[in-house]
Amino acid sequence: MGYSLSGAEYSVDALRGDGYPWTDPQGERTMPFMTKDGFRLYYEDTGGNAPVIMFLHGAGGNHLSWWQQVPVFADEYRCVTVDQRGFGQSPDVPGGPGPAALGTDAVALLDHLGISRAAIVAQSMGGWAAVGAAVRAPERFWAIVLANTVGNLTNADIAAVRQRLAAASPPRPAVLWHAAIGPTFRKQQPVRSFLYAQISGLNAPLTADFRDQLLRLTTPVERYAATRVPTFFLTSEEDGLIWPELSAKVHAHVPGSRFERVEAAGHSTYFERPDVFNREVGAFLKEHRP
């Protein structure tokens, strides 16, 4: 059984695989967590033996953010979504490592689930996790999508472009979700804009300390390029957080990577233009599917 929303076809039957949603063999509801050094990471897993996609949300999201992707991709892939450390149902432990552990958390979850290789589809902050995971264990990933993100990839050339774009840009809205979706979407889709805000509101408030820690983390783009993991940079014309020109510059430093710019979308293309996002990401993953 399927249904259509915003031009995308969704399959309900695809979500009825083993282990999803959250049931034990007796049919009782369970809460799936990975425990690591006292930290509990919440995840959801559609199960099955198909190639795996791990979806990694941004700072305005959590595992629920991918509601327009999982029903689409679950027909052909095993889909894993998570509440990353510090978000949703995965609060960090007191004095925990914070964003520095995002990449190791992703690899640890693959180990926990017995998954040898996966693709990552990451948005915004999820790019930090994707990059961190890839440089630590490149053999574990058959493709990476960096959507409206360049992660923490940098070098002198990239840093100069970032500094120039930041100086020329207007001040960012004080409310995170106002910056995370584009003006076209906010104007044309008030109901779904409200839904984005509600999903984001399930997270604990993002602290200045967390943001500062995140922005201090850097990875030389040359180190990431050396992993040779097939990479797709997907950006959008209304993204005022990770500017399209910045994504294009990082793409130019990753040989063999793919680049696409989407019209009429802001920082959350996956949420604002799911039809285009799913089509472009689906084509890229199909090309590299193991």
Output the pTM of the full model.
0.90
Q: What is the pLDDT of residue 111?
A: 97
Mean predicted lDDT score pLDDT of the chain: 90
Q: What is the pLDDT of residue 170?
A: 76
Instruction: Assess whether pLDDT exceeds 50 at residue 155.
Output: yes
Q: What is the pLDDT of residue 169?
A: 82
Instruction: Assess whether pLDDT exceeds 60 at residue 120.
Output: yes
Q: What is the pLDDT of residue 1?
A: 35
The residue ranges of every structural domain in the chain are 2-288
Q: What is the DSSP letter of 17?
A: S
Q: Which CATH class is domain 2-288?
A: alpha beta
Q: What is the DSSP letter of 14?
A: G
Count of residues for the chain?
Answer: 290
Name the more confident of 234 and 26: 234
pLDDT cut 90: percent of the chain above it: 82
Residue 216 token pair: 């201090």
Instruction: Assess whether pLDDT exceeds 70 at residue 148.
Output: yes
Residue 26: band (very low, low, confident or very high) from pLDDT cuts 50, 70, 90: low
Cα angle, residue 145 at apex, residues 127 and 193 outer, rounded to 5°? 75
Residue 176: band (very low, low, confident or very high) from pLDDT cuts 50, 70, 90: low
Instruction: Assess whether pLDDT exceeds 60 at residue 29.
Output: no
Name the more confident of 11 and 65: 65
Instruction: Assess whether pLDDT exceeds 60 at residue 214.
Output: yes
Which amino acid is located at 35 in the chain?
T
> Rounded to whole angstroms, what are the CA distances from 142 to 133, 228, 286?
12, 10, 11
DSSP 69-117: THHHHTTTSEEEEEE-TTBTTBPPPTT--GGGGHHHHHHHHHHHHT-S-
Instruction: Assess whether pLDDT exceeds 60 at residue 178.
Output: yes
Query: pLDDT tens for residues 192-213?
Result: 999 999 999 999 998 889 989 9
Dist CA 58 CA 149 (whole Å): 9
Q: How far apart are the first and last CA of the chain?
A: 27
Query: pLDDT tens for residues 256-289?
Result: 999 999 999 999 999 999 999 999 999 999 999 9
Q: What is the pLDDT of residue 33?
A: 94
Q: What is the pLDDT of residue 82?
A: 98
Q: Where are the alpha helices (DSSP H) in the chain?
A: 70-73, 102-113, 126-136, 156-168, 176-180, 183-188, 190-200, 208-216, 221-225, 244-252, 269-272, 274-288
Instruction: Assess whether pLDDT exceeds 70 at residue 6.
Output: no
Query: pLDDT tens for residues 222-236?
Result: 999 999 999 999 999
Closest CA to 200 of 178, 172, 171: 178
Contacts for 267 with CB less than 8 Å, ≥ 6 apart? 58, 124, 148, 179, 180, 181, 182, 236, 238, 239, 240, 241, 242
Instruction: Assess whether pLDDT exceeds 70 at residue 22.
Output: no
Q: What is the pLDDT of residue 131?
A: 99
Instruction: Assess whether pLDDT exceeds 50 at residue 4.
Output: no
pLDDT, mean of residues 157-166: 96
Query: pLDDT tens for residues 55-78?
Result: 999 999 999 999 999 999 999 999
Dist CA 65 CA 262 (whole Å): 19
Q: Could you give the 3-state DSSP secondary structure of residue 236?
A: strand
**Number of C-beta neighbours around residue 30 at 10 A:** 11
